[in-house]
Amino acid sequence: MKKILTTATLTITGFISLNLRADEAIKPYIIQRDDEVIEVYPLPTFTISEPISNSFVYVDGEYVNYPYVVSVSNLTVYINERIIQDYEPWVHNPDPDLQLGRVGNTPWSIGRSIDYHCNSIVTSLTRGSTLQYYSGGEQSSGMDDGSGALARIALARKAVNGDEQAKQQLIEGMGLENSLSRVHPDWIERLATNTNLEVRATAIMEAKKKP
């Protein structure tokens, strides 16, 4: 009889524990803006990707060393713990006067939008794309067999030596025309001296040449 009671107690305890975890999982994420309270639910289901190695990622002009791990915390997307996109400022309760219903970055649609974005990033990285992020935006410059990375390094070295045309090419190529005030002041020097990027890009190019 004691064994039966113990089993029943464990079953009930486990059931309560599961219910508590389920309740915890469906709690909305609360955004407080002055007098406005926004309850975001459902949250993104995407959590973290497997490491991805066949791509190049740049954030505000700086190369991010691989492998790349895409992750989400609440409403913020990261690559290797670098913030790629914070969606929180873009979430708003629908304006009933505009009769937009569920269109846009509403509390109940933003989770799906983030999941879609993260899966798109993973797909691009897996295919070997170059992804460039700057000031909350993204510019994908397509596939890179290593030659693109080496071209950026070459431009950075020319720019460091005073070549203004090379500097402008680099700024435009990295998509930084409108955000130079927000990048690291030594971003060109860092790119010019990034031996990790140079070694990796050269190795990828050499591997491509092999039959």
**For 3-25, how does the pLDDT look when each residue is reduced to its tens digit (9 = 90+)?**
444 444 444 444 444 444 444 45
Cβ distance 68 to 200 under 8 Å?
A: no
Rounded-to-10 torsion of CA 54, 78, 195, 163: 110
Alpha carbon distance 121, 64 (integer Å) = 15
Q: Which residues of 84-103 are buried (b: 16+ CB within 10 A; e: fewer)?
A: bbebbeebeebeeeeeeeee
Examine residue 185 and state whether it is found in any structural domain, yes or no.
Answer: yes
Specify the pairing of strand 76-79 against strand 82-86: antiparallel
Taking the model in full, what pTM does it have? 0.79
pLDDT(2) > 80: no
Confidence (pLDDT) at 20: 45
Quote the tokens at residue 172: 């435009």
Query: Does residue 157 lie within any of the structural domains?
Result: yes
Q: How many domains is the chain built from? A: 1
40 inside domain: no
Residue 205 lies in a domain: yes
Establish if 95 belongs to a structural domain.
Answer: no
| Tens of pLDDT, residues 177-203 | 888 888 889 999 999 999 999 999 999
Q: Which domain holds residue 166?
A: 48-86+128-209
Most confident of 1-15, 116-130, 171-185: 116-130
